[in-house]
């Protein structure tokens, strides 16, 4: 892409970002694991076509909050969520909501690449098949190719689509998982420390991919790396001991944060 | 400053930068005072010392720059750490320029040695020099405390130097008109006065940098200016 069109894309994205309606919003979100309260009254908006980074020290609740966004916490028996989380205008904790459909709209990529023990092709085709997004072989072929293209993996794997996904390198596996998430055309993609098991080159590729995916998806990423949050996100939310401490433009957050706790954390100081 | 970094070596690197800045400031201040003393007393050996001291100041600036670049590369500083380091680079550059201006004044000592500096002009130059040195000394004290309020107050003060400079400018013009034989000396003195006035500007720059380090915001509004010499015309009083 040449300079001019890239700037044009940026401009369009900026406009989209400032004008966009909120994609998701959490109001007074509390999460309990048994008796223990892990999140206290979190109010956080997720903007469309924006990368929102969740940062904070271990155990601060950032992953817990991420997992409330597609009800991954439902899989933990002792976990209870109160408050309201909207996806567009739908209350995702409404008893009538179909959780399988919700997770198709809000996809997830995990810390460790976890491809299915199947072929590269099947890894991608699986989601669209169970959601009935394609019928003919040609339709599946097209989804597999476009998803791998979007994940920047197509050129590396197009000649070995029938080989097992687990045979790829760590970085390739993670991009395969992103391609798999993209395949069902979700609206939001949640990423839980997607690069923590990757080397710097593979990390850079995933970060570049996140940057490109932003044009079509809304992304929420949990990361332990301050520099990664600064590089990939437009908005940053800082959690501490189960509370949302500060939410701000990433540019502001890393140059002149409002909250002392944010400042201490991103600067590697202890308050 | 807030609590220490978990990585203590990072704290050491930041302390090194601010210590070197203070040292540079002390030397620059001394050079300015000595250059004007050398000028008024026609002291060529003192002038020579100022000229050779400038090399020390230049070397200090390069060392600060190198250390700052290395620290950025190693630590990826953010927020006030990043401003602290960028501030050190900028302040070192300002102090290096202050040294150059002192050196330039010292270089003119030989040219005015034979005629000497007329008494009233010497008094004016000394007064101007005193103001600039106070400005510099105060701003270096503020650097040690990183106080945004005090930095803002110093920024407001530069107009005093400007107005003394403007009146010295008029005085030099008058001398030259009255006796064209003084033109050589007075022209050199005019450059010396301009050097000193510029030192006040650098002190003000440093005050602005400190304000930015402390608050993360650029100081707002125009700084006060009372340097009217740009519009002074010979023969008009």
Average pLDDT over residues B153-181: 92
Per-domain boundaries in chain B: 8-229
CA nearest neighbour of B20 among B70, B56, B51, B48 = B56
Count the neighbouring beta carbons within 10 Å of the beta carbon of residue A12.
Answer: 12
Strands A79-87 and A90-91: antiparallel
CA nearest neighbour of B3 among A262, A259, A269, A266 = A269
How far, rounded to the nearest angstrom, does the alpha carbon of residue B99 sit from its chain's CA centroid?
7
Give Dmax over CA atoms of chain B in angstroms: 69
More confident residue, B205 or B120: B205
Strands A36-47 and A243-249: unpaired
Sheet with A243-249, side-by-side order of all strands: A106-109, A188-192, A218-222, A51-55, A235-240, A243-249
pLDDT at B226: 77
Average pLDDT over residues B73-78: 91
- Judged against a pLDDT cut of 80, whether residue B208 lies above it is answered with yes
User: The pTM is what?
Assistant: 0.81
Are residues B79 and A227, on separate chains, in Cβ contact within 8 Å? no
How far, rounded to the nearest angstrom, does the alpha carbon of residue A125 sit from its chain's CA centroid?
20
Average pLDDT over residues B204-227: 89
Average pLDDT over residues B107-125: 90
Buried b (16+ CB within 10 A) or exposed e, A148-187: bebbbbbeebeeebeeebbebeebbbbbbbbbbbbbbbbb
In chain B, what residues touch A248 (CB-CB under 8 Å)? none
Identify the CATH homologous superfamily for domain A3-118+187-266: P-loop containing nucleotide triphosphate hydrolases (3.40.50.300)
Region B8-229: CATH code: 1.20.58.220
- Judged against a pLDDT cut of 70, whether residue A249 lies above it is answered with yes
Which two three-digit tokens encode residue B84? Answer: 């602290």
CA-based nearest residue in chain B for residue A255: B79
In chain A, what residues touch B215 (CB-CB under 8 Å)? 256
A88 Cβ neighbours under 8 A, 6+ residues apart: A21, A23
CA-based nearest residue in chain B for residue A259: B79
- Identity of the residue in B6, B79, B215 whose CB atom sits nearest the CB atom of A254: B79
Per-domain boundaries in chain A: 3-118+187-266
Whole-angstrom distance, CA of residue A265 vs CA of residue A192: 19
Q: How many CA atoms lie within 13 A of A188 on its CB side?
A: 24
A237 Cβ neighbours under 8 A, 6+ residues apart: A44, A52, A53, A54, A55, A62, A244, A246, A247
- Judged against a pLDDT cut of 60, whether residue B61 lies above it is answered with yes
Are residues A263 and B79, on separate chains, in Cβ contact within 8 Å? yes
B78 touches chain A (CB under 8 A): yes
- Identity of the residue in B4, B76, B82 whose CB atom sits nearest the CB atom of A269: B4
Which two three-digit tokens encode residue B174? Answer: 């008058």
How far, rounded to the nearest angstrom, does the alpha carbon of residue B31 sit from its chain's CA centroid?
10
Give the whole-number percent of chain A exceeding pLDDT 90.
81
CA-based nearest residue in chain B for residue A257: B79
């Amino acid at each position: 892409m040449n300079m001019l069109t890239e700037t044009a894309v940026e401009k369009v994205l900026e406009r989209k970002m400032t004008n966009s309606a909120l994609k998701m919003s959490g109001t007074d979100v509390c999460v309990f694991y048994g008796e223990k309260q892990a999140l206290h009254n979190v109010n956080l908006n997720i903007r469309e076509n924006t990368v929102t980074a969740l940062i904070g020290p271990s155990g601060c609740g950032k992953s817990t909050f991420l997992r409330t966004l597609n009800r991954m916490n439902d899989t933990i028996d002792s976990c209870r969520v109160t408050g309201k989380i909207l996806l567009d205008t739908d209350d995702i904790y409404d008893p009538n909501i179909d959780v399988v459909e919700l997770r198709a709209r809000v996809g997830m990529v995990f810390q460790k690449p976890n491809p299915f023990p199947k072929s590269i092709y099947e890894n991608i085709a699986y989601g669209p098949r169970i959601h009935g997004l394609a019928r003919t072989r040609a339709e599946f072929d097209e989804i597999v190719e476009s998803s791998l293209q979007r994940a920047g993996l197509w050129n590396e794997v197009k000649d070995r689509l029938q080989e097992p996904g687990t045979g790829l390198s760590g970085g390739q596996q993670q991009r395969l998982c992103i391609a798999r998430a993209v395949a069902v055309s979700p609206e939001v993609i949640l990423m839980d420390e997607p690069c923590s098991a990757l080397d710097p080159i593979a990390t850079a590729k995933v970060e570049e991919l996140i940057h490109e995916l932003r044009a079509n998806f809304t992304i929420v990423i949990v990361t332990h790396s301050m520099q990664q949050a600064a590089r990939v996100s437009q908005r940053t939310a800082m959690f501490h001991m189960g509370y949302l401490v500060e939410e701000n433009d990433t540019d502001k957050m890393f140059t002149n944060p409002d909250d002392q706790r944010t400042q201490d954390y991103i600067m590697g100081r202890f308050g | 400053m807030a609590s220490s970094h978990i990585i203590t070596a990072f704290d050491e690197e930041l302390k090194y930068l601010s210590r070197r800045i203070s040292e540079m400031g002390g030397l620059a201040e001394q050079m300015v005072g000595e250059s004007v003393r050398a000028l008024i007393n026609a002291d060529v050996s003192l002038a020579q010392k100022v000229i050779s001291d400038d090399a020390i100041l230049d070397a200090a600036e390069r060392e600060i720059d190198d250390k700052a670049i290395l620290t950025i590369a190693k630590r990826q500083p953010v927020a006030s750490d990043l401003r602290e380091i960028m501030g050190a680079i900028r302040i070192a550059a300002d102090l290096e320029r202050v040294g150059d201006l002192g050196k330039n004044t010292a270089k003119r000592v030989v040219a005015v040695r034979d005629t000497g500096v007329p008494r009233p002009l010497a008094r004016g130059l000394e007064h101007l020099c005193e103001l600039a040195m106070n400005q510099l000394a105060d701003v270096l004290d503020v650097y040690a405390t990183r106080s945004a309020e005090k930095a803002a107050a110093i920024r407001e003060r530069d107009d005093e130097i400007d107005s003394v400079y403007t009146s010295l400018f008029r005085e030099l013009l008058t001398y030259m008109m009255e006796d064209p034989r003084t033109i050589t000396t007075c022209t050199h003195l005019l450059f010396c006065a301009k050097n000193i006035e510029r030192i006040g500007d650098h002190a003000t720059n440093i005050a602005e940098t400190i304000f930015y380090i402390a608050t993360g915001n650029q100081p707002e509004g125009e700084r006060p200016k009372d340097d009217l010499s740009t519009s002074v015309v010979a023969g008009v009083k």
